[in-house]
Structure 1
Amino acid sequence: MATIKDVARLAEVSVATVSRVLNGNGYVHKETKDRVAKAIQQLNYRPNDVARSLFKGRSKMIALFVPDIMNPFFPELARAVEDTAKQKDYTFVLCNTDDDPEKEIAYIDALRQKSLDGIVVVSSTMSGDYVKNVDIPVIALDRILHEDLSSVTVNNREGARQAVEHLKKQGCTRIAHIAGPEHISNAKQRMNGYLDAVQQEDWFKFSYIEQGEYRFESAKEAAQRLLERHPEIDGLFVANDLMGVGALKGAEAMKISVPEELSIIAFDGITLGETTTPTLTTMAQPIYTIGSRAAEMLIQQIEQSDQGTQVEEFEVELIERESTKRRHNNDET
């Protein structure tokens, strides 16, 4: 089996030079880089993809950045990106960033050293200007990072409005909202959709809105605060499914029956909502479709550098389950 010393000897360079070529560290003259690449091919020192990447400038590797791998939405999204990458003969890397800007930047720097070809980014904290200036293709997924950056999202505002209208049709007359983080574009859009549906109602109060931070425990506490402060609330629109489950548990802790006393609808359509008691009504994103489309767009931009900014928005779909059944006192007699 060939060693790095064999490559260096055949290419007539030092081992350090071979290492720099392989890792992309430091300057290496093009003629020298070509000699090393040919030696790698001749000796079969590494898989052929490495040698090809030295010539083509591509590693056939893409990454997906997600803010919280514990949220079931993101593994479902990751599966779609991974499947599409595999179909296109690309290697897939999943990076959990914990909504930490320093960690996001560290991942980008490390992966660029490995000749990463592009990134699909779901981020709550990464600067749009920073991402726009990264010198490899980037696709924003699930939320908008910069107006000049390609993105794949859903109709968050209209979907949220439809969610509230569904609660009204079920007979709800006091509808509250548990919102996502204020600095995230999709959370703001979903709050605006809620406001579109309720702001002109005589009963509406801004104190019907609580922050849930897209987290289970935060949403459980937010639901309890809302219901303690406003016991008249009979409908709740929650900005994502993970928080929706938290709201269900909050109501349960207060011995409030869902849906007989309180109807709850959320947003996302993750599998978790099918496992709760009662099962969770939701505005379902086409999760697999948007993940797959983001990966396709990224690979197009990698392989066709003349691709312009692409912005695609998909529609959500109401999935009616047990948490919003019509209450008996509103049924027709």
Structure 2
Amino acid sequence: MVTIRDVAKYANVSVATVSRYLNKKGYVSKETEKAVAEAIKALNYKPNSVARSLYHKQSNMIGLLIPDITNPFFPELARAVEDVSQAYGYTIVICNTDGDAEKEKRYIEALKRKYIDGLILATNELTAEDYISYQLPLVMLDRSIGDKIPSVRSNNYESAKQATELLINRGSQFIAHIRGPCHIQTAEDRYRGFKDAVEENKVAHIVVESGFDLEAAKTVTEQILTDYPMIDGIFASSDVMAAGAMKGIKSLSLSIPNDVQLVGFDGIPLSGMLIPSLTTVAQPIYKMGTLAARLLIKQIEKKPIKDYYYTLDTTLIERETTRSEKK
């Protein structure tokens, strides 16, 4: 394997000179720069990335923590983060936490030992103080936690309210909300939007909690429809949960949307592939990911940031799981 000493010998300069050239620190004459560059090319020298990380205390790597790699929403976010990061010369390390606080801690501590340059957190099992204590550039993505960590998310409250009002306007008179876990702020915001919509319109309702996964939502849906057969509308806190709700509705031989209308949240491609196709609140997923990556990179590179907190608008897409008019 070619070493920095081989490059120095080939270019007839000192190892320190080659080091200054590689690290862009200290003076190197134009003539010497050319000699070193030619030596690197001729020898096909590849700098030791681990050694450089130790020297600079940085790695040009960004950690992206997500709670569930099997949920299609998060790979879409990851793609956007990766596209922007690679354009700026950063590599993404994706960590799947499974919503486990201890696993999340282990990942962050391991990444920090590798001199990770910053973290994008699409999960928040820890407290704001925990995250801040790691002393790394941070951005919350599809999450918010306190007012000290920058965040990128959609307008969850207004969007949930709009989705619920669609069910009401299409004739639903008893609406269930399958909400996400209480400790997740986005789920809480969507719950508040639902709650305000049904209370303002004096519509009967019930709220049940579920994990953001298909089978849990299916089980919950079967239970509530059995206990409350008068339910004729469901607002699910994610598209994956809505897909589970759809399975639950069909397992009871009920018709969508004639017996039960259904609205999801996220706008992942799966929502348009379901049969019937899912009415959903579409988040600007790619834009969210790109904004988060740019926001983090600016922090890493100590560049000025105009806005620390982004709340993006969504689009309500009406498809086949809601009626076109009141029943």
Return the TM-score normalized by structure 1: 0.83
Does 1:96 pair with 2:96? yes
Matched residue, 2:223: 225
Of the three residues 222, 233, 236, the one matched with 1:235 is 233
In 1, the alpha carbon distance for the partners of 2:202 and 2:166 equals 18
In 2, the alpha carbon distance for the partners of 1:306 and 1:203 equals 48
> What's the secondary structure of 1:125's corresponding residue?
coil
Deviation, structure 1 residue 148: 0.6
- The one-letter amino acid of 1:276's match is L
Matched residue, 2:115: 115
Does 1:144 pair with 2:169? no
Of the three residues 270, 273, 289, the one matched with 1:272 is 270
**Structure 2: gaps (5+ residues):** 10-15, 24-35
Q: Describe the superposition over 1:205-228 as per-residue Cα deviations: whole angstroms up to 9, x where unpaired.
A: 4xx111111111111111111111
CA separation of 1:120 and 1:263: change in aligned 2, threshold 3 A? same
Q: Is the 8 A contact 1:40 1:51 kept in 2?
A: no
In 1, the alpha carbon distance for the partners of 2:163 and 2:249 equals 19
In percent, how many aligned pairs have the same letter? 41
> What's the secondary structure of 1:209's corresponding residue?
strand
In 2, the alpha carbon distance for the partners of 1:151 and 1:73 equals 17
Q: Describe the superposition over 1:12-45 as per-residue Cα deviations: whole angstroms up to 9, x where unpaired.
A: xxxxxxxxxxxxxxxxxxxxxx899559877966
Does 1:58 pair with 2:58? yes
Deviation, structure 1 residue 92: 1.2
> What's the secondary structure of 1:199's corresponding residue?
helix
CA separation of 1:112 and 1:202: change in aligned 2, threshold 3 A? closer
Deviation, structure 1 residue 88: 1.1
Q: Describe the superposition over 1:78-129 as per-residue Cα deviations: whole angstroms up to 9, x where unpaired.
A: 0000011111111111111111222212111222222211110011412221
In 2, the alpha carbon distance for the partners of 1:63 and 1:98 equals 16
Matched residue, 1:193: 193
Does 1:76 pair with 2:79? no
> What's the secondary structure of 1:93's corresponding residue?
strand
- The one-letter amino acid of 1:150's match is P
Matched residue, 2:170: 170
Q: Describe the superposition over 1:126-178 as per-residue Cα deviations: whole angstroms up to 9, x where unpaired.
A: 22211122221010010112321000011101100000011112111111100
Equivalent residues, number: 302
> What's the secondary structure of 2:324's corresponding residue?
coil
In 1, the alpha carbon distance for the partners of 2:298 and 2:184 equals 27
> What's the secondary structure of 1:178's corresponding residue?
strand
Deviation, structure 1 residue 309: 7.3
Deviation, structure 1 residue 50: 6.1
**Structure 1: gaps (5+ residues):** 11-33
> What's the secondary structure of 2:183's corresponding residue?
coil
Return the TM-score normalized by structure 2: 0.84
CA separation of 1:90 and 1:130: change in aligned 2, threshold 3 A? same
In 2, the alpha carbon distance for the partners of 1:219 and 1:102 equals 25
Q: Is the 8 A contact 1:40 1:46 kept in 2?
A: no
In 1, the alpha carbon distance for the partners of 2:125 and 2:275 equals 33
> What's the secondary structure of 2:165's corresponding residue?
helix
- The one-letter amino acid of 1:220's match is K
Matched residue, 1:21: none
Matched residue, 1:211: 209
In 2, the alpha carbon distance for the partners of 1:125 and 1:258 equals 35
RMSD: 2.7
- The one-letter amino acid of 1:287's match is I
Does 1:285 pair with 2:283? yes
More off after superposition, 308-317 vs 245-254: 308-317
In 2, the alpha carbon distance for the partners of 1:238 and 1:203 equals 17
